[in-house]
Amino acid sequence: MSSSAEEIEKVIGQKYKEGFVTEIEVETFEPGLNEDIIARLSAIKGEPEFMLQYRLQAFRHWQTLEEPDWAQLNIDPIDYQAISYYSAPKKDSEKPQSLDEVDPELLDTYKKLGIPLDEQERLAGVAVDAVFDSVSVATTFKGKLKDAGVIFCPISEALQEYPELVKQYLGTVVSEKDNFFASLNAAVFTDGSFVYIPKGVRCPMELSTYFRINAANTGQFERTLIIADDDSHVSYLEGCTAPMRDENQLHAAVVELVAMNNAEIKYSTVQNWYPGDENGVGGIYNFVTKRAECRGDNSKVSWTQVETGSAITWKYPSCVLLGDNSVGEFYSVAVTNNYQQADTGTKMIHIGKNTSSTIISKGISAGKSQNTYRGLVKVAKSAENARNYTQCDSLLVGDTCGAHTFPYVEVKQPSAQVEHEATTSKISEDQLFFCQQRGISAEDAVSMIVNGFCKSVFKELPMEFAVEAQALLGLSLEGSVG
């Protein structure tokens, strides 16, 4: 191959930039999972009784389940008894009320991550509810949100302050019996975000959460619940990172979205968990169940994800389109390198009339990685005039990686129109040459072409994230195509 092959090696070999460990005291449960652990967890969080019952029910069901093995993934067996299910910064008892009270070392961590936590007011108005390991550390912009009537808080807080609201919606989109990882999450989730947008309110700013797994041997089990009541609108951003460690860490999250009549939820994720080193040692196992229900007529849910991290990604953000004229969208860029494995995609379940969905998925695989798109478009008999358009493109970088496309289409309604297209290719020498011939360096040319390849997804991201996503993409792949 051309000289760019060496450059590829160089760039692919780039170190994970977020891989620092914050040395702060943590209170951690001993490894293991049983009903006592769950009861202790629930007690520490001061949860209402129904939550404990919910967790135990989920745990009992989880014990009857087997790990799913249908994905195009090679996973070393996970020992669920060797994981600690709770890890919180020590000063939990006196939870910080404002940023000044937060452990300075923690704030330092966020600075390294580049989260504008203490510059919020000056920046574009992103309220961050940062989840550090499992407990929410600080929530900003609460006042402004409160004026608008928006509830945005850690789910543990919501369980204490709005138990009825949480009870009404928790587990109604992803039941505690949904799948192996969702059951596990329901049993042991430690924290997460809760958002409620009341009727007719357009959330005044974009809401944001940052997740980070810090302690070794801990799993991160967060749970997010977002409810957009009639005629409301919210845009929610989520980012994730984890430090470098040799062991694999488990992350099993559940995200539930509910959109009522005319409501719109936009959910954006930039996932940059530690992917393991160049030999495939370490890295996060990311098993996530994300699902949205468009319960109301004319509602809309849009998922946008940029997946660059994790040793293993198992994630299918889905939309159940119940309401008439409801809309589901899924925009995804998944980048895998070294020994990363990603099996990700979406499900669009059309039930209401005139529902429509769009799926745009861009997979980029490099190194020895495997990148799979797996999606389902299901049109029920009741979904008259349903419409789906799916496009899955894969870009291969290097000759030892794999790119796979497994779409499922099931249609029971003749007036439905479903289209699916997929292509797989590599950046051609011609394209590179064309750019180089005009004085653009090989590296810049590749970056341009890859960014162009992902443009239709990046344009869906909110401004702050789009910048980060492009930087991440550059970090993982710059110059590595040829």
Partner 1 sequence: MTTQYSEAYAKLENSLAGSSLSWLSELRTQAKEQFLERGFPRLSDEEWRYSNVSVLDKKAFSPVSDSELGHIDIADLDSYKLADCWTLVLVDGHYSASLSDLDGIADAVIVSSMVDALKNHPEKVKSYLGQAVDLKEAGFKAFNQAWFSDGVFVSVAANTVLDKPLQVLHVVTSAEVLANTHHVIALGTGAEATVIETFIGCAERYATVSVTEVFVEKNAGLSLYKTQLESDKAVHLGGVYVKQARDSRFKHTNFAFGSLLARTDVHTDLSQASECDLNGLYLGVKRQHIDNHTRITHVEPYAISKELYKGVLNDKARGVFQGRVIVAEQAQKTDSDMHNHNLLLSDNAEADTKPQLEIYADDVKCAHGITVGQLDDKSIFALQSRGIDEETARNMLTFAFANEMVNKIKFKPLHEQILTQVLERFPQAGIDKAWL
On the 0-12 / 13-18 / 19+ scale of CB atoms within 10 A, 414 is exposed
Round the CA-based radius of gyration of the chain to a whole number and report it: 22
- Choice from 81, 399, 438, 439 touching partner 1 (CB under 8 A): 399
Q: Which is nearer to partner 1, 168 or 428 (CB)?
A: 428
Q: State the CB neighbour count (10 A cutoff) for residue 203.
A: 22
Report the relative pairing of strands 417-425 and 370-379 from DSSP bridges: unpaired
Considering only 381, 434, 463, 467, the residue that binds partner 1 (CB under 8 A) is 381
Among the residue ranges 39-47, 347-355, 402-410, 436-444, the one whose residues contact partner 1 (CB under 8 A): 402-410
341, with CB counted inside 10 A (0-12, 13-18, 19+), is buried
**Closest separation in Å from C-beta 2 to partner 1:** 13
Angle of CA points 390, 394, 400, to nearest 5°: 150
Residue 418 touching partner 1 (CB under 8 A): yes
CB of 267 to partner 1, least distance (A): 27
The nearest distance, CB 162 to partner 1, in angstroms, is: 42
Among positions 46-75, residues that touch partner 1 (CB under 8 A) are: 70, 72
Q: Which is nearer to partner 1, 260 or 403 (CB)?
A: 403
What phi-psi label fits residue 280: left (phi over 0), alpha (psi between -120 and 50 degrees) or beta?
left
User: For partner 1, which residue of 52, 56, 409, 440 counts as binding (CB under 8 A)?
Assistant: 409
The reply to whether 179 sits near partner 1 by the rule CB under 8 A is: no
9 binds partner 1 (CB under 8 A): no
Residue 421 contacts partner 1 per CB under 8 A: yes
The amino acid at residue 223 is R
Q: State which residue, 6 or 421, has the beta carbon closest to partner 1.
A: 421
| Binding of partner 1 by 416 (CB under 8 A) | yes
Binding segment for partner 1 (CB under 8 A), chosen from 27-35, 265-273, 319-327, 389-397, is 389-397
Instruction: Please state at what angle helix 180-188 crosses helix 49-63, rounded to 10 degrees.
Output: 150
3-class DSSP state of 303 = strand
407 is a site residue for partner 1 (CB under 8 A): yes
In angstroms, the Cα distances linking 417 to 220, 298, 300, 360 are 40, 19, 19, 17
**How many chain residues are in contact with partner 1, going by CB under 8 A?**
36
Q: What is the rounded distance in angstroms from the CA atom of residue 403 to the CA atom of residue 318?
A: 21
Scanning the structure block, which residue is given the tokens 């967890």?
Answer: 41
**Would you list the DSSP string of 343-377?**
EE--EEEE-STT-EEEEEEEEEE-TT-EEEEEEEE
Among 20, 426, 440, 462, binds partner 1 (CB under 8 A): 426
CB of 419 to partner 1, least distance (A): 5
* One of 57, 175, 217, 424 touching partner 1 (CB under 8 A): 424
Of the two residues 65 and 244, which places its CB atom closer to partner 1 in the complex?
65
Q: Does 361 bind partner 1 (CB under 8 A)?
A: no
Which CA distances in Å does 157 have to 47, 101, 289, 463? 9, 18, 22, 29
425 scored as a contact of partner 1 (CB under 8 A): yes
Residue from 401, 457, 469, 477 that binds partner 1 (CB under 8 A)? 401
What CA–CA distances, in Å, run from 102 to 21, 22, 45, 106, 189? 17, 14, 19, 7, 23
Nearer to partner 1, 1 or 43 (CB): 1
Which of these segments, 9-17, 321-329, 330-338, 422-430, binds partner 1 (CB under 8 A)? 422-430
Q: From CA 208, how far away is CA 351, in angstroms rounded?
A: 31
Piece of 168-176, 203-211, 265-273, 406-414 that binds partner 1 (CB under 8 A): 406-414
**Which residues contact partner 1 by CB under 8 A?**
70, 72, 379, 381, 394, 396-426
